[in-house]
Structure 1
Amino acid sequence: MLHHASLGVSDIERSAAFYDAALAALGYIRVWDDIRPGQTGQAVGYGLPGGGDKLAIKHRPDGQRAPGPGFHLAFAAPNRQAVDNGRPGLRSHYGEHYYAAFVIDPDGHALEAVFNSAE
């Protein structure tokens, strides 16, 4: 249903370094960027190699706030081994094979890695 999601971040370079590392474990890479230090309108797009962006982070230094409780983004993991941060484990209340973990980005956005299949 979704084409992509965008998140506002207060420091584009710090957030890009975080997302580069966090998403690499799931097989996602930086597919484009528009980082120009000292300028506004900067952004970075992430997706699968050879594809378009599914997540964009956009520099919004003024008034940046993460959404409140209940909001998070969940990223598909290729296997259980890729879900390795934030106390990974089965979440049987979501399904028999729902294996997930959470991390929080530098601006407080909650991110989940999910592998939902029998191995």
Structure 2
Amino acid sequence: MLHHLSLGVADIERATAFYDTALAPLGYVRVWSDLRPGESNQAVGYGIPGSGDALALKHRSDGARPPGPGFHVAFAAPSRAAVDEFYRVALQHGGRDNGAPGLRAHYGPHYYAAFVIDPDGHNIEAVFNTAV
């Protein structure tokens, strides 16, 4: 259904450092970059290696404002260990805790997830939803 999702960021260098690290345990990489230090309208895209982007970060010189309550982006993880690592490295690189890794039985018996607020205030999640 969705081709990609874009998030506005106030500091593209800070955002790419965060997402390069936080998405790596999930198997996602930067698949394109339009970085021109000091210029406006910079952006990067993340996805599965060898594919197009599913997430784009767009520099907003007027400041980034995350969507309101209820909005978050959930990234599929290949394992529970990947969810744990996503959470660990995200917190080390400027993210804030919004829910430690663990089972979320209210979402289903196998729903294992962690939630982080990125440096621009976006609520992001890593989820593994398969029986182990």
Q: Which has the higher helix share?
A: 2
Q: Which runs of 4+ in 1 moved over 4 A?
A: none
Q: Partner residue of 1:105? A: 118
Query: 2 CA distance for matches of 1:72 and 1:61?
Result: 22
Greater alpha carbon shift after TM alignment, 80-89 vs 45-54: 80-89
Q: Distance in 1 between matches of 2:43 and 2:67?
A: 19
Q: Is the 8 A contact 2:31 2:49 kept in 1?
A: yes
2:105 is paired with a residue whose SS is coil
Distance across 2 between alignment mates of 1:108 and 1:31:
23
Aligned mates of 1:63, 1:18 — CA distance in 2? 17
Q: Distance in 2 between matches of 1:61 and 1:72?
A: 22
SS of the equivalent of 2:36 reads coil
Specify the alignment match of 1:49 in structure 2. 49
Aligned counterparts of 1:41 and 1:113: Cα–Cα separation in 2: 28
Percent identical among aligned pairs is 75
Give ranges in structure 2 of 5+ residues lacking alignment: 88-98
Which residue number corresponds to residue 27 of structure 2? 27
- Count of residue correspondences: 119
1:75 match: secondary structure: strand
2:127 to 87, 105, 114: 114
- Whichever residue aligns with residue 104 of structure 1, its letter is I
Report the TM-score, using the length of structure 1 for normalisation: 0.97
Query: Does structure 1 conserve the Cα–Cα contact (< 8 Å) formed by 2:9 and 2:63?
Result: no
- Pairs within 5 Å for 1:25-104: 25-84=25-84, 85=87, 86-104=99-117
Give the TM-score normalised by the residue count of structure 2.
Answer: 0.88
